[in-house]
Amino acid sequence: MSTIIYPSPIFGPVHSRRLGISLGINLLPADGKICTFDCIYCECGYNAQRHTSSPHPPRALVAEKLEEKLKEMKANSYAPDVLTFAGNGEPTSHPHFYEIIQDTISLRNIYCPTAKISVLSNSTFIHRPKVHEALRMVDNNILKLDTINTEWIKKVDRPTAPSYNVKKIIENMKAFKGKLIIQTMFLKGYNDQGENITNTSETFVKPWLEAVEAIAPKEVMIYTIERETPASHLRKASHEELDAICERVKSLGIACQASY
């Protein structure tokens, strides 16, 4: 297994399949992972293998390092297309997420006004008013909804809180009133317990589409595994499968892009 842990608080820029030239902002520690999910496909590895007791990087440090990097990029005439909150876990778990979003918007406006701000979140904190408000301020509020099947979620996304309730997540997604992008992982194969976790079949796709229609996001991004995963028996969904799902989303009048 060779999963990745990202530098913190700034990494890249990297060329993202979905987002273009992306400067990463990692609000988690540099020496491990902190996430409210423990996805078997997580490119950072399983939570238990990446345990850390280090704190989140302080707000002031995030702003300082971001400004330093944006100055350097500007001096080299290399502007980011997007500032992406991602990295070693769940960005909205940072106690000063709201303030950091405010700082990032200010710095973006100074150094790279055309760059978008994206947040990749697993949606577990979107019920918190401050997190909701912060996510409404960014250009791309990208929220994970891999399925609505509770058993699958327990086997694959593996929320760390027993209170996780996908129905509540869907209701909280609706509260964004279209100002969100749904991100969904489609994959095939088996988890470490030998259970089939393929979610490309009609059993999974149809109810997921119904939920997507009810949430009415401005866009859907579907993707499949790209790098090594902690569970070793996972396979990519095929181009054809992703394209077919993409077309079904589009037929609902919702923009959709697939990354293979």
From the DSSP assignment, how many helices (H) and strands (E) are in the chain? 7, 10
- The minimum distance between CB 8 and ligand SF4, in angstroms, equals 13
Query: Does the protein bind ligand SF4 through residue 146 (CB under 6 A)?
Result: no
Question: Which one, of 88, 31, 27, lies nearest residue 54 by Cα?
Answer: 31
Question: Which one, of 197, 208, 218, lies nearest residue 248 by Cα?
Answer: 208
- Of the pair 38, 81, the CB lying nearest ligand SF4 is at 38
- The minimum distance between CB 89 and ligand SF4, in angstroms, equals 5
Buried b (16+ CB within 10 A) or exposed e, 109-142: eebbeebbbbbbbbbbbbeeeebbebbeebebbb
- The minimum distance between CB 44 and ligand SF4, in angstroms, equals 5
Lay out the site mask for ligand SF4 across 89-118 (x = CB under 6 A, - = otherwise).
xx----------------------------
- Of the pair 57, 89, the CB lying nearest ligand SF4 is at 89
> Residue 210 contacts by C-beta under 8 Å, 6 or more apart in sequence?
none
Query: Does the protein bind ligand SF4 through residue 122 (CB under 6 A)?
Result: yes
Which contiguous run of DSSP H or E holds residue 35? none
Query: Does the protein bind ligand SF4 through residue 42 (CB under 6 A)?
Result: yes
Compute the distance between CA of residue 213 and CA of residue 121 in angstroms, rounded to an integer. 20
> How many residues lie near ligand SF4 (CB under 6 A)?
9
Contacting ligand SF4 within 158-177 (CB under 6 A): none
- Of the pair 73, 100, the CB lying nearest ligand SF4 is at 100
- Per CB under 6 A, the segment of 37-45, 49-57, 98-106, 176-184 that binds ligand SF4 is 37-45
- The minimum distance between CB 255 and ligand SF4, in angstroms, equals 23
What percentage of the chain's residues is helix, strand, coil (to nearest 5)?
35, 20, 45
Q: Note the residues at the interface with ligand SF4 (CB under 6 A).
A: 35, 37-39, 42, 44, 89-90, 122
